[in-house]
Structure 1
């Protein structure tokens, strides 16, 4: 059987022929896995014709399986959905989910409903729900059933938590809370109080599947590391604990993807680390993966098109972008940019763009400059304008649909991303407490969180 899988097979789709390794098709397509392992006559044929698909859709599938990230037109998106459904290719469906944006979400929602791709169907519906006000004028093309489903979903809400160290019950700090912005009333309200032993000071924070994860953090003058990690489940309004990384670390970056948490870099005993660990939620265990290319703490990290990127700098003037490839367990260099080292920098992603924001210790201390790196063209663009006020709001930017949320104690600023530029959209209330912030998006249950902060 192994020797047969090493062979290549010619696939005819419409008038085009594709030569593909059987092993690749068996690995990624349930349709071909069943076909080649069936023992039927077709399983040994050197040439197979598929009549139900278009050559366009099949070619897109092959590009995805080769690790490419093509930008698809409306017609190509439709053909890709058709191919993913007929050949049962999960990696293609995942690619379509990661490529959702305001231009294609309605089409992909309708196509997923038509061809029965349930994960894409729900992901597209959630995207539309989050961008409802921006997309409302285009939703009349949806059937009443599809529109009703979108409106039944809970939109994501902008939330934040300040930097807090552990406390004792008799010294309980009522400000140790996770808060969310109720935009209708323009009020920050309390979602949950942090566990007494949890620290968000120099901790890594991220979300996955509508849960908040907190790893690391310190307490005390000597920066003792909190060795337990914490998870807040929004649906049940409950906290649970899980083990900390094998290497004690603080000032770490935490990101999550497909059932794993990644604790990236950080410090221990005032020494920067280059080690990286991942937490497998199915086994509740941490394991080391490939080190960062260099030791680093508070590493800017963002996910674009379902891919993990970090931003490092090599003093004093080189910014470097790396991608982590989970399948290969490698940090791949993507691009570099020469800029004077800054006081601080951050990174967020939108579509196939990475936005790197920085301010510096000299004449630009009170302002933010931004550079954009496009993953498709591999080109850098210096962004016009000034996107941060003197309180440093942009370092906590998160993006929902085409809207950027930034926040500080004075105000919350919203920007709209149009043609790769950020345009001021609206102003909301600032976070009611001082200090650094971690921000994220959550889908809150339809209950009355009535405690105003």
Structure 2
């Protein structure tokens, strides 16, 4: 009985539209109209309440101390009767008939009467018609009526189509401030940085008086992204030969090309990739039957790009990112059972891989993290099947390895992540009984000490950890022997502030041994084992809804032994990347 008496809000989704339609019919029949508007000898019978609700101008008129608040009519100057008719019709039905002939008149009336929704529709109309041929005229109209949405939209259009824009007179006529606004943006899409340099150089040489802006303008060209022949060609330009500061930018680019071959290059704004978002990158480890590959996923276009490929097979890859370089620790099989360490660095600026100094000790199933300009390789198993507690640290600036404080206990097949300048590790296989453990610990780089933390609920190995907003998520893995693999192992979440664990959604299966990466507040996974998912699929976990969903199908399988993933800034507009789409 109590349930029968409970309240239930029931809503009619079409009630508002039906009511407005009824008011419009009353207006057309001139029923219950209580106000008259005149313009150019024409009269319009209307309802005060509706006008006050739709127009800030009329709301102030009717509710304030203006003379018209006590009168039954008003005559409006400065607008045509036709444009007033359009705005009144809009207030009653939400529709405007727009074309280039009446656009200015309608804008004038909507602006005068402060009908903001009508102004928004005018903005949408202008944006739909705006192109490089009519931009000057339409942008002038937008400027008169302070339509910032239109100018912002056109700026985005220019950034998306900068090379097409460079062929217009508007580009040549840009002032230096506006040009700098465009070329300093990471959202600028260009086929190559050298092409951008050529366009900027063209703008400068159009008027020698512009040379005074050369240093400031050229400081926004990313010379480190150019090839050595392109930099040499730029260096021979008249402007470069006569402006020593601009020449230094080119020399800086040349130095990047030399440094990247033997050491960590200096990274600044002129060596950054032009993009605003990181992308999912998958490293395929390679084998006797499949090449070593680095592929990237363009989320906007739903396409994969093969950024790098060679025939060197490897296994047990671990990856970390520093300064938008991927550092890859791996084991290379030279045949005959000979395994050797390898550390290489993938540079997305030039799509190249550089070999670096390898670890001092061979490690299988270790964990790798990056903090600042250092890599930390933790634990693992030796080639003689010993479980290790040792930690090695690699300094990217010196290309040298040193020993670090060892783990609290020997462990392999564990997971590690970094947050708040601390290293966290969980689970793995101990040296005691060779079974998965539920341990959880952190390493403080300041005090250089390990601290044991509350353990995870499920002992697991070959799992992953990611950190988002001071929370650590443990995902996937294989549980202890004897635990059913047909069940589901939940995601576990650790709150750093409260030091408490929470169980979240189930992973796809008890033997979920994929790889995970946190990106834009979500968790991406590759290489899953799931009754409805294949190993060539990418799935996404949404934290607020605690739900998984399929994102894309990859060109290759991505299981635990064949691929790992990370995130990186990739410029998919670059001609060298564009031609590599799969």
TM value normalised by structure 1: 0.59
1:257 CA drift (Å): 1.1
Q: Which residue of 2 aligns with 1:427?
A: 551
Q: Go from structure 1 to structure 2 and tell me whether the alpha carbon gap of 1:284 and 1:198 turns closer, same or farther (over 3 Å shift).
A: farther
1:397 match:
516
Which position in structure 2 is the counterpart of 1:157? 279
The 2-side partners of 1:317 and 1:181 are apart by: 33
Structure 2 residue ranges without an equivalent (≥5): 1-180, 189-273, 528-534
Tell me whether 344-353 or 256-265 shows the greater mean CA deviation. Answer: 344-353
Q: Alpha-carbon deviation of 1:390?
A: 7.9
Distance between the aligned counterparts of 1:228 and 1:318, measured in 2? Answer: 29
The equivalent of 1:450 in structure 2 is 579
Q: 1:422 to 1:243 in 2, by over 3 A?
A: same
DSSP 3-state at the match of 2:407: coil
After TM superposition, give the deviation of residue 275 of structure 1 in Å: 0.4
SS of match in other structure, 2:518:
strand
8 Å CA contact retained: 1:191, 1:449: no
Q: Does the 8 A contact of 2:328 with 2:345 survive in 1?
A: yes
- Residue of structure 1 aligned with 2:416, choices 301, 319, 343: 301
Cα 1:442/1:174, change in 2 over 3 Å? same
Instruction: Assess if the C-alpha contact under 8 Å between 1:188 and 1:429 holds in 2.
Output: no
Please say if 1:368 is aligned against 2:484.
Answer: no
What is the deviation of 1:431? 5.0
How has the CA–CA distance of structure 1 residues 338 and 238 changed in structure 2, closer, same or farther, with 3 Å as cutoff? closer
- Residue correspondence of structure 1 range 246-325 to structure 2 within 5 A: 246-269=360-383, 270-312=385-427, 318-325=437-444
Which of the pair has more CA radius of gyration? 2
Whole-Å Cα distance in 1 between the matches of residues 448 and 486 of structure 2?
37
- State the shift of 1:422 in Å: 2.7
Q: Select which of 523, 535, 541 maps to 1:415.
A: 541
Q: If each structure's helix is expressed as a fraction of its own residues, which one has the higher value?
A: 2
Q: Which has the higher contact order (CA 8 A, sep 6+)?
A: 1
- Is residue 190 of structure 1 aligned with residue 299 of structure 2? no
Query: In structure 1, what is the equivalent of residue 471 of structure 2?
Result: 353
Alignment of 1:141-156 (within 5 A): 149=185, 151-152=187-188, 154=275, 155-156=277-278
- Shift in CA distance, 422/318, structure 1 to aligned 2, threshold 3 Å: same
Alignment of 1:388 onto 2:489: no
CA distance in 1, matches of 2:186, 2:347: 23
* 1:174–1:331 distance in 2 versus 1, CA, 3 Å: same
Number of aligned residue pairs? 296
Gaps in structure 1 of 5+ consecutive residues: 1-144, 168-172
Aligned with 2:565 (options 419, 435, 439): 439
The one-character-per-residue Cα deviations of 1:142-192 (angstroms, maximum 9, x if unpaired) are xxx79x956455111101122324x6xxxxx56421111122332322111
Task: Using the TM superposition, give the Cα deviation of residue 324 of structure 1 relative to its aligned residue in structure 2, in angstroms.
Answer: 1.4
Matched with 1:38 is none
Q: How far apart in 2 are the matches of 1:249 and 1:343?
A: 16
Q: What TM-score does the superposition give when structure 2 sets the normalisation length?
A: 0.46
Q: CA deviation at 1:348?
A: 1.4
Following superposition, the deviation at residue 326 of structure 1 comes to 1.6
